[in-house]
């Protein structure tokens, strides 16, 4: 019986060892928790004396963050790579990864910059055209989009789309039109806000006139002036001027979405 018990104990020990070994291997597999895997790559970054190994670990860590949906952290991780130590082919790959993660994080401007810096814009002209459209660079976007076309029908569709590119709003025009509420808001594509502003300005102006006609000079000049400074200067003029950049960006984003849908059909 004793030899049998020893064999059983030995089998149990071997089984436990194999389970632990396979468990450790599973933890380092592609299906492992990406944040735990990122932590392991970070240990290599701090312990390795070899720059190439450190850079590879940082790229792997960024990929782990991307798998976890933490795209901003992925870009920040790649920013730690000392680009001047990389050869040109590897530099292009790192910049392309930055562009991909930045786009996933919602920063199209940064994605465009990284993509152009990488020199890999020809690899995906459709993506490049959409990013150019988001930046409001209409001529370049159209030229790039035409490179995705393989027929005259597709070229015609691209031409028709770019014939309706959004107009670029300017702060000067927004400020001028703000003196005629709701023209400023209509210029920025905000009719609801415009009519609200018109109502508030009319109310403030009416209160001021009412007080002055009743010879209530202090409440008329002081109270009316404070009301008009709030309704006209702050809620009307200042908001319109500050909203020009956001209005241009929103218009470019809508156009880029239409372009992306069109190019996806090619």
Give the Cα separation of 121 and 144 in Å (integer): 10
- At the top level of CATH, the class of 32-162 is mainly alpha
**What are the residue boundaries of the structural domains of the chain, listed by start?**
32-162, 171-258
pLDDT tens for the chain, 266 residues long, are 444 545 544 454 444 444 444 444 444 444 578 999 999 999 999 999 898 999 999 999 999 999 999 999 999 999 999 998 888 878 999 999 999 999 999 899 999 999 999 988 988 999 999 999 999 999 999 999 999 999 999 999 999 999 999 999 999 999 999 888 889 889 998 898 888 888 887 777 777 778 777 777 777 677 677 777 777 777 788 889 999 999 999 999 999 999 999 999 98
| Helix, strand, coil tally for the chain in percent (to 5) | 80, 0, 20
Token pair listed for 224 = 């009316």
What pLDDT is attached to residue 130?
A: 94
What pLDDT is attached to residue 8?
A: 44
What pLDDT is attached to residue 1?
A: 43
The upper half-sphere exposure of residue 106, i.e. CA atoms within 13 Å in the direction of its Cβ, equals 3
3-state secondary structure of 7: helix
**Are the C-beta atoms of 226 and 89 separated by less than 8 Å?**
no
Give the Cα separation of 248 and 178 in Å (integer): 17
Give the Cα separation of 248 and 241 in Å (integer): 12
Other beta carbons within 10 Å of 66: 20
Question: Residues with Cβ < 8 Å from 102, sequence gap 6 or more?
Answer: 71, 75, 108, 110, 111, 114
Model's pTM, two decimal places?
A: 0.68
Give the Cα separation of 247 and 189 in Å (integer): 8
What pLDDT is attached to residue 70?
A: 95
**Are the C-beta atoms of 141 and 132 separated by less than 8 Å?**
yes
Token pair listed for 260 = 């992306």
3-state secondary structure of 136: coil
What pLDDT is attached to residue 26?
A: 43
């Amino acid at each position: 019986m004793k030899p049998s018990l020893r064999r059983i104990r030995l089998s149990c020990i071997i089984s436990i060892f194999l389970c632990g070994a396979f468990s450790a291997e599973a933890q380092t597999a592609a299906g492992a928790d990406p944040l735990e895997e990122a932590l392991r790559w970070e240990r290599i970054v701090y312990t390795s004396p070899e720059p190439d190994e450190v850079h590879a670990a940082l790229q792997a860590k960024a990929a782990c963050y991307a798998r976890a949906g933490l795209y901003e952290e992925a870009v920040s991780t790649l920013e730690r790579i000392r680009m001047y130590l990389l050869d040109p082919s590897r530099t292009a790959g790192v910049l392309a990864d930055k562009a991909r993660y930045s786009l996933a994080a919602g920063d199209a401007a940064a994605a465009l910059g990284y993509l152009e810096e990488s020199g890999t814009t020809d690899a995906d002209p459709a993506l490049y055209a959409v990013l150019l459209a988001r930046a409001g660079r209409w001529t370049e976007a159209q030229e790039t989009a035409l490179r995705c076309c393989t027929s005259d029908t597709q070229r015609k569709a691209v031409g028709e789309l770019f014939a309706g590119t959004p107009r670029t709003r300017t702060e000067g025009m927004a400020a001028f039109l703000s003196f005629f509420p709701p023209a400023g808001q209509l210029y920025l594509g905000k009719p609801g806000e415009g009519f609200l502003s018109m109502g508030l300005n009319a109310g403030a102006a009416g209160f001021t006139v009412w007080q002055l006609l009743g010879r209530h000079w202090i409440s008329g000049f002081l109270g009316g002036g404070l009301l008009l400074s709030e309704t006209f200067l702050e809620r009307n003029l200042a908001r319109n001027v500050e909203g020009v950049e956001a209005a241009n960006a929103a218009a470019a984003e809508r156009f880029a979405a239409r372009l992306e849908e069109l190019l996806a059909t090619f």
